[in-house]
């Protein structure tokens, strides 16, 4: 079992819908990252969280450290949001910041 | 002004060849990484360097040899390429944990195809 599990693996939505992607992890962490990867493109860091909630435009990320769970929400989704969204956790200690990744969620938003 | 730049973006080569991928960051980060993304898009750490010193080597075959001439550069050399090495390789950098901003920055990736 992967240390980081995401759900769903695939998500299809209509433009304007509210979207939620979930991430659960089984290890102690110092931070959790949400990443976005467009087809054929590079990886962009959307959020880094160690507690609470962060918002950037239409994107909201939350984390519950006690429950080892994080969610990424997209409000008023748009076709340009279509991408792979990846949850990654950064362990503490001597790991020097290495990330352990979930398998990604493929999001397709139709007009 | 690219923060983390990798070259080349695409690399097609024959089995048995030796190739290198270069990575440079201009963010002043202390730590650099190489990640491999397989055909199922799953990302996994290969190496981590902190200020030119190897910190993490995640059971990568010794045909892969990272080299960090200074903390702004982390190159990846691959000997005797095999078909299974075909993947997208991402370089990344970050400040040290505990230095406030844990922000990660990725390069644009190098798609390696071994034929």
Band of pLDDT at residue B54, cut at 50, 70 and 90: confident
Contacts of A45 in chain B (CB under 8 A): 103-106
Per-residue pLDDT tens, chain A, 111 aa: give them: 689 999 999 999 999 999 999 999 998 888 899 999 988 778 999 999 989 999 999 999 999 999 999 999 999 999 999 999 999 998 766 556 788 999 999 999 999
Q: How confident is the model at residue B1 (pLDDT cuts 50, 70, 90)?
A: low
* Cα–Cα distance, A48 to A95 (Å, whole number): 17
| pLDDT confidence of residue A2 | 80
> Quick one: average pLDDT of B46-72?
88
The token pair that represents B113 in the structure block: 């195809």
Model confidence at B96: pLDDT above 90: no
| Backbone phi and psi for residue B84, each to the nearest 5 degrees, phi listed first | -70, -5
**Is the separation of the CB atoms in B114 and B82 below 8 Å?**
yes
- Report the distance separating Cα A66 and Cα A8, nearest Å: 22
Q: How confident is the model at residue B109 (pLDDT cuts 50, 70, 90)?
A: very high
Give yes or no for A42 touching B (CB within 8 A).
yes
Whether residue B9 lies within 8 A of chain A, CB to CB, comes out as no
Q: Which two tokens stand for residue B35?
A: 């990640």
> Would you state the pLDDT for residue B98?
58
CA distance A104 to A107: 9
Which of A35, A86, A97 lies nearest to residue B31, judging by beta carbons?
A97
pLDDT of residue B83: 96
């Amino acid at each position: 079992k992967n240390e980081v599990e995401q759900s769903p693996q695939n998500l299809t939505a209509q433009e304007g819908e509210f979207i939620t992607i979930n991430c659960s992890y089984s290890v102690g962490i110092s931070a959790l990252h949400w990443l976005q990867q467009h087809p054929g493109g590079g990886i962009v860091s959307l959020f880094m969280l160690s507690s609470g909630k962060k918002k950037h435009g239409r994107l909201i990320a939350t984390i519950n450290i006690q429950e080892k769970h994080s969610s990424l929400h997209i409000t008023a989704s748009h076709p340009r949001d279509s991408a792979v969204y990846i949850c990654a956790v950064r362990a503490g200690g001597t790991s020097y910041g290495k990330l352990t990744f979930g398998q990604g969620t493929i999001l397709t938003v139709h007009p | 002004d690219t923060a983390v730049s990798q070259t080349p973006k695409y690399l097609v080569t024959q089995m048995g060849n030796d190739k290198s991928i270069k990575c440079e960051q201009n963010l002043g980060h202390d730590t650099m990484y190489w990640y491999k993304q397989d055909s199922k898009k799953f990302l996994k750490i290969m190496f981590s360097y902190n200020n030119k010193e190897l910190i993490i080597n995640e059971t990568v075959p010794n045909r892969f040899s990272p080299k960090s001439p200074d903390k702004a550069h982390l190159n990846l050399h691959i000997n005797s390429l095999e078909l299974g090495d075909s993947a997208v390789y991402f370089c990344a950098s970050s400040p040290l944990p505990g230095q406030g901003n844990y922000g990660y920055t990725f390069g644009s990736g190098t798609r390696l195809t071994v034929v």
